[in-house]
Chain A
Amino acid sequence: MGFFWQNKQFEQTLNLHWQRLYRQAYAWCHDPQLAGDLVQETLSRSCRRPYQFENDKALGVWLYKVMNNCWRDHHRQQREMVPLDEMHMVTESGPDLSLAQQQLQHTVQQAMAQLKADHRQIITLIDMEEFSYTEVAEILDIPTGTVMSRLSRGRQQLKLILEKTSPSLAAGGTTIRSIKP
């Protein structure tokens, strides 16, 4: 086992994977505890099946595929989404975020929560993780054409919701410029 702990660069890569998995899981469910459970279950399931990957990208695709299966299983068990009023406010994000940043995140998260779950998944996998359409199709086990059509519909819906709930944000107000990546 020692080999893995001595490889600092590899640890950094894995650290990046964990953060990305958690962020993605949170974007899917908007529940920090469930997101943590999803990542934990993803890793637990991954332990059960040895697999060899050609590169880090392939490992990433597979991890998200496993997490999607966990997410589907959760849905089968729950048969319901987290109600909007139970969503966790972005004020939990920590003291580093300004009020403007918190408001922006809250507004967009609320809008995203109104999308269909499968649309939201596709948007977040592409926008946050920068997966290709083909990779998303593999992760979600759906045709690439379906990825593209759902992406288009999801973005259109998101735009309409934001125009309705936050016209200045949808139109490109000044708020976004206060955000520092």
Chain B
Amino acid sequence: MNSPHIPESQLHAYVDGQLDTHERAEVLDATRTDAELARQLAELNRLKELVRLAYQNPPPPRQLPHSRPARLSRSGQAIAASCLLTLGLVAGWWAHTPAPGPGFQELSQLDQPIPPGDRVLLHISKMDTQRITHALDKAERLLQNSVQQHRPLQLEIVANAEGLGMLREDSPFGDRIRTMRQQHTNVRFLACGIAMENARLKEGREPKLLPEANKINAALEQILGRLKEGWIYVKG
């Protein structure tokens, strides 16, 4: 595939727009007198175009089999929109502020007093016993503080991906979650529907949740909806 004057790597670089003006002119000059070289260039351009076309309209992510609102039932728009919203928050956050924005907090920040009437979403995505224990410790402290200080609080603990294990019926945190729900009416445990669907596909049966947990469409959808409403997001 090599031309005597133009190495193959130069041809790839030409079609990929990696050459400077002088180098491009050199390749173009060579193609005027070298039909084989011109054919090779056309072939590379054609391959590039085929690859672009092959992935122009990828199929959307599969839908959950049920319980998805009609407006989200087409072409994976729920996930697409959710990711777009996340990206909006994330990229805006990156692009405009070197430090985390007010809606995002570290777990350690939960020890600090939060504004009255505030709402917090705690996100669990890993089945890491130590981390979940730590996150639940923080959540309980937050709930207790809200009672002691008579501060209204709404807390949602959302589990997805591996973190779904925290809310499954065989969860090692089952007793603790049950106690938390009994003691506090302002905490909700929510399981990601996509993670449940993935578990169902993997295990061949519907995963069972703790009675205290409720299924939602998608964790990301919940997180983004809450962020838009002004909730504080905390990664557990």
Contacts and interface: CB of A to CB of B under 8 A. Distances in A.
A76 B36 CA distance: 43
A3 B125 CA distance: 28
Nearest to B220: A40
Interface residues of B, number: 64
Interface string B71-91: 000011001101110111111
Contact of A47 (B57, B90, B102, B228): B90
B49 A15 contact: no
B35 to A, nearest CB: 15
A14 B94 contact: no
Chain B interface, DSSP helix/strand/loop, else mixed: helix
Interface in A123-157: 123-124, 126-128, 130, 132-133, 148, 151-152, 155-156
A79 to B, nearest CB: 15
B51 A124 contact: yes
A109 B55 contact: yes
B52 A152 contact: no
Contacts of A17: 87, 91
Interface string B53-67: 111111111100000
Contact of A155 (B44, B53, B194): B44
Nearest to A10: B92
Given A33-B62, A47-B104, A48-B235, A176 B49 contact: yes
Chain A interface, DSSP helix/strand/loop, else mixed: helix
Most chain-B Cβ atoms within 10 A of its Cβ — which of A18, A26, A159?
A18
Contacts of A3: 92, 96
B47 A52 contact: no
B97 interface: yes
Contacts of B54: 27, 104-105, 108-109, 112
Contacts of B57: 90, 93-94, 96-97, 105
25 contacts: A4-B92, A5-B228, A10-B91, A21-B83, A22-B80, A24-B55, A26-B58, A37-B194, A46-B90, A50-B100, A51-B94, A53-B95, A93-B57, A93-B59, A105-B54, A105-B56, A124-B51, A127-B51, A128-B52, A133-B13, A148-B13, A152-B8, A159-B47, A176-B50, A181-B53
Given A23-B58, A53-B95, A169-B50, 17 more contacts: A1-B101, A27-B58, A32-B58, A40-B220, A43-B90, A44-B125, A44-B220, A101-B53, A105-B57, A109-B54, A112-B54, A123-B51, A126-B16, A133-B13, A133-B16, A158-B47, A159-B43
